[in-house]
Structure 1
Amino acid sequence: MPRRTATMLASTLMLIALLCAGVFIPVPYSEMSPGPTVNTLGDHDGEPVLQIAGRKTYATSGHLNMTTVRVTSADYRMNLVEAVYGWLAHDNKVVPHETLYPDGKTEEQSTQENAEEFSQSQESAKVAALKELDVPVKSWVIVSTVVKDSPAEGRLHAGDVIKAVDGTAVKEPADVAKLVTKHKPGQNVRFTIVPAKEQTAAEKEKRTPTKTQDVTITTTTSDDTGEKRAIVGISAGTDHTFPFTIDIKLADVGGPSAGLMFALGIYDKLTPGSLTGGKFVAGTGTIDDEGKVGPIGGIEMKTVGARAKGAQYFLTPADNCAAAAKDTPEGLTLIKVDTIDDALGALKDLRSGDTAGLPKCGE
């Protein structure tokens, strides 16, 4: 066989071997890509995304689209060829697997966590919108979760209302940790609670719960890094009672990043006139009860998805602005927001047509 032919044959076989290796050898990466966007003012799967009963609502127009990101599943094993393709693709992003699924988190665990965050974001969106409208909302501190095999397991339950710790009234979730960590591990701490069942019954009967009980728990030592502290094995959260019904109907979506857009959609439906002036506005961002907007992941994917859907403007959390501005889709204006007030102010400028003063990312 001529040397030239032999060299070409060897090179071809080596290339085939490399391609086969690239296809069959898994790499520790996952992929993110633009997901669906949904107009919070419109319908999804045949029913309104926002459903309000017991309060006058108003007609809306335009779009206030929440945005999403698709990710590969926790058990999906990407090969080298797919990783390289993802790195080269403009609209996709390849990230270390542990970025999306830290500490070996399973698909089921990730889905559950995303569902919980999505539910909490809906509650905070309702509170933030109603506070903007000066509509009173009743709030109280609850046991959000109980850690398995912790001292609190079987003593406290998710949904229990925490009225006091060691006789000191609790007003915010953070108060619980502060009061517990005043103890040394091994000491007792006394919780005054309204049991979850009593709280639920009182809400249904529209009365103030009267049944309280004291629960004494022996603290243990935290197992996280840093200075050791006393814990009982719970996380505290906030629950609310709203003066009318607000339902958010959106299946197969998780995580907290739709909070801002839900809050704006609720505000729009409860106020006369169009918040967008008929324009196509999309956006993202977590929101807390006070209307503070927080950063999210996958901002580049969300701007691409929003523009592909037709968005002209994108409400962008201030802390995401730098990343979003690096590769802004043509025809999309990124508006920097830090609070729901910022977003409402920007939408007012859009309605009036005075866009010169908009707080744009990258400026």
Structure 2
Amino acid sequence: MPRRTATMLASTLMLIALLCAGVFLPVPYSEMSPGPTVNTLGEHGGEPVLQISGHRTYPTDGHLNMTTVRVTSADYRMNLAEAVYGWLAHDDKIVPHDTLYPDGKTEQQSTQENAEEFSQSQESAKVAALKELGIPVKSWVIVSTVVKDSPAQGNLHAGDVINAVDGTAVKQPADVAKLVTAHKPGQKVVFTIVPAKDQAAAAKQNKDATVTKDVTLTTAESHDTGARRAVVGISAGTDHTFPFTIDIKLADVGGPSAGLMFALGIYDKLTPGSLTGGKFVAGTGTIDDDGKVGPIGGIEMKTVGARDKGAQYFLTPADNCAAAASDTPSGLTLVKVKTIGDALGALKDISAGKTADLPKCAKG
């Protein structure tokens, strides 16, 4: 074989080898794809998703499906070939790895965070549904977490009820930070609390806790990315006591995005008649205690998953409308909602067949 031909052949083979190797090099991306959808009015794993005792419930029909997104794990390293395939696939979405797992978050940390958000979304869904029905719910501000090696460690504990800070009554979690940061680092601040064990004992007897104590802490200086301020090393949250039992039985799901659909499912079971009129409605959205619906991630994946299961209508957070409308699956109507009241109004129209009156999502 002539030397020139041999050189060209060797160069070509080397180039092919390098290209093949490059295709399998890891790239800093992750994949999102449509996940399972679950009817909050139905069963999952052989038992009802919503289980209510201590209050009258009513038969339901149709679907109020919560939707999910599948994502690759934190430690999965996608290669270039997989990334290109994902970019070309219509039902999948390739995103930077740090979008799903910021700051080097591990799989365990992400799972824990998602579980906590899911638990909180269930609580808020119950509160929002009962408030919409005019059923009183007792609420109070609590110590949610305590930072290690902070002034609060050993002095305040998760579950402690915060009645006041420096004698000023606390009505919502934001009040705590406002009152603490009114101090300068190094100054003392007094928390009036009900210890968690006393609160739990009172709640068990369906009574209001009467045992309180003052805890004096010396504030420290913050060291996060925000402005320097006085801190004690806690995060505040909200806890509730419900007048009857509402259990949400759904494992292997995380994050806050099912809140709206849980709230609607609870409302439907506690009221006569059918919210959906037998229609297949799916949706997504966070919900707070006041019934406000917030945006979520992966909206395009959720609409695809819902339509694949047969959904006709999709309740869409207003802030997600433009993204969802940019690529709406055929046969699916996107309904814009900002509150649980909006969602209930839309369901009334859907049940009655008044689809022309629905507030639909439009492209941005």
TM-score (ref. length: structure 2): 0.97
Aligned partner of 2:34 in structure 1 is 34
**CA–CA separation in structure 1 for the residues paired with 2:199 and 2:259:** 26
Q: Counterpart of 2:50 in structure 1: which amino acid?
A: L
**CA–CA separation in structure 2 for the residues paired with 1:62 and 1:8:** 66
Q: Counterpart of 1:351 in structure 2: which amino acid?
A: S
The root-mean-square deviation of aligned C-alpha atoms, in Å, is 1.3
Aligned partner of 2:90 in structure 1 is 90
User: 1:174: how far off?
Assistant: 0.7
Please say which of residues 86-95 and 240-249 is displaced more in the overlay.
Answer: 86-95
Q: Counterpart of 1:136 in structure 2: which amino acid?
A: P
**CA–CA separation in structure 2 for the residues paired with 1:155 and 1:187:** 16
Aligned partner of 2:260 in structure 1 is 260
User: 1:12: how far off?
Assistant: 5.0
The answer as to 2:212 corresponding to 1:212 is: yes
Q: Secondary structure at the match of 1:150?
A: coil
Aligned partner of 1:323 in structure 2 is 323
**CA–CA separation in structure 1 for the residues paired with 2:267 and 2:8:** 71
Q: Secondary structure at the match of 2:208?
A: coil
Aligned partner of 1:22 in structure 2 is 23
**CA–CA separation in structure 1 for the residues paired with 2:353 and 2:340:** 20
- Residue deviations 1:202-235 (CA, integer Å, cap 9, x gap): 0111222111111111111111224211010111
**CA–CA separation in structure 1 for the residues paired with 2:225 and 2:78:** 32
User: 1:13: how far off?
Assistant: 4.3
User: 1:16: how far off?
Assistant: 3.5
Aligned partner of 2:243 in structure 1 is 243
Please say which of residues 10-19 and 285-294 is displaced more in the overlay.
Answer: 10-19
The answer as to 2:274 corresponding to 1:274 is: yes
User: 1:10: how far off?
Assistant: 4.1
User: 1:85: how far off?
Assistant: 1.0
The answer as to 2:178 corresponding to 1:178 is: yes
The answer as to 2:210 corresponding to 1:195 is: no
After TM superposition, list the pairs within 5 Å mapping 1:1-363 onto structure 2: 1=1, 7=8, 10-23=11-24, 25-362=25-362
**CA–CA separation in structure 1 for the residues paired with 2:125 and 2:242:** 12
Structure 1 residues 8 and 351: alpha-carbon distance in aligned structure 2, compared to 1, 3 A threshold? farther
**CA–CA separation in structure 2 for the residues paired with 1:22 and 1:157:** 52
User: 1:287: how far off?
Assistant: 0.1
Q: Counterpart of 2:334 in structure 1: which amino acid?
A: L
Structure 1 residues 13 and 269: alpha-carbon distance in aligned structure 2, compared to 1, 3 A threshold? same
**CA–CA separation in structure 2 for the residues paired with 1:288 and 1:276:** 23
**CA–CA separation in structure 1 for the residues paired with 2:172 and 2:47:** 36
Q: Secondary structure at the match of 2:148?
A: coil
- Residue deviations 1:277-336 (CA, integer Å, cap 9, x gap): 000000000000000000000000000100111101000000000100111111111000
**CA–CA separation in structure 1 for the residues paired with 2:68 and 2:226:** 35
User: 1:255: how far off?
Assistant: 0.3
User: 1:8: how far off?
Assistant: 6.4
User: 1:350: how far off?
Assistant: 0.5
**CA–CA separation in structure 2 for the residues paired with 1:203 and 1:281:** 37
- Residue deviations 1:152-193 (CA, integer Å, cap 9, x gap): 111111100000001111111111011000100011110000
Q: Counterpart of 1:19 in structure 2: which amino acid?
A: C
Q: Secondary structure at the match of 1:41?
A: coil
Unaligned 5+ residue runs, structure 1? none
**CA–CA separation in structure 2 for the residues paired with 1:8 and 1:321:** 55
User: 1:125: how far off?
Assistant: 0.1
